[in-house]
Amino acid sequence: MSRLSYAAAIGLLLCVSASAHAQERPYFVTYSDYLEEKGDLEVSVLSTIGAVKDNPNYFAPWIEIEYGVMKRWTAELYIEGVTVHQDASAFTGWRVENRFRPFAGEHFLNPVLYVEYESINEASRIQKEIVGEGPIPDESVRTLKHDHAHELEGRLILSKKWGGWEVAGNGIIEKNLSEEEGVEFGYATGFTKRFRKLYVGAEAYGGLGASLAQHEETRHFIAPLVGWKVSKGLLKAEVGFGLTEASERYLVRVGYSIDVW
């Protein structure tokens, strides 16, 4: 997926109906208990730019198409790609996600159950979750794009809103169905404060190896974020700073989401 096609996709989305309203989820990795209303369709264009230690930087765009199937069930399709500086570009796969709210109404902490199937290759760089341990692969995209994986990811999402504040936490578990590997773990957590159209906050995320134990080769990031409700959607951005030797130096993320109907 080239930078030109990515820019064209943004232009297309910006031309969608002026009556659209933004989904209020300013995070990039962390999920809250927010679900789409039944029958609502949202489209998002996002990207991750990674600065890698001793390796070329990468640009990883993706598109999310989210639909409210039922009042307590939201489904989402991801389509992703990557371009690595002085290497190559590639289509890296697709994902299908489902989020379910098991209980109606408000609670002390609102739980949501998350299940995602991933058909991706090892060149994937969007970093929608970080699990396990070790840095990202340093082989060429030309090689990695042929190494396909089928993975299953689950999350327990807990969040709470009060006033203009929101806090959220996700426990993540992932299993590679294509290899004889164990289960890998990760986490994401975040908070935001809303000031009318402006959101400010931060999220933290990283891998927990294969045994829920900290390891010197796990990757962890802390990412201040900002979101702005514009007339047709939600524009958001964050910079994630790597905290361990295995982490990228930073991950710059930007995104724009609109409700189509």
What spatial distance separates the first Cα and last Cα of the chain, rounded to whole Å? 27
- pTM for the full model? 0.89
Q: Partners of 168 in the beta sheet? A: 159, 190
CA nearest to 216, candidates 194, 241, 245: 245
Residue 234: C-alpha distances to residues 44, 119, 184, 191, 240 (Å): 9, 28, 32, 17, 19
The pLDDT profile of the chain, 261 residues, written as one tens digit per residue, is 444 444 444 444 433 333 334 456 899 999 999 999 999 999 999 999 999 998 999 999 999 999 999 999 999 999 999 999 999 999 999 999 999 999 999 999 999 999 999 999 999 999 999 999 999 999 999 999 999 999 999 999 999 999 999 999 999 999 999 887 789 999 999 999 999 999 999 999 999 988 765 566 899 999 999 999 997 799 999 999 999 999 999 999 999 999 888
Distance of alpha carbon 211 from alpha carbon 237, whole angstroms: 32
Distance of alpha carbon 160 from alpha carbon 168, whole angstroms: 7
Hey, what CATH topology would domain 3-259 get?
A: Porin (2.40.160)
CA nearest to 13, candidates 3, 25, 24, 5: 5
Quick check: 233 and 257 in contact, CB under 8 A?
yes
* Amino acid in position 29: V
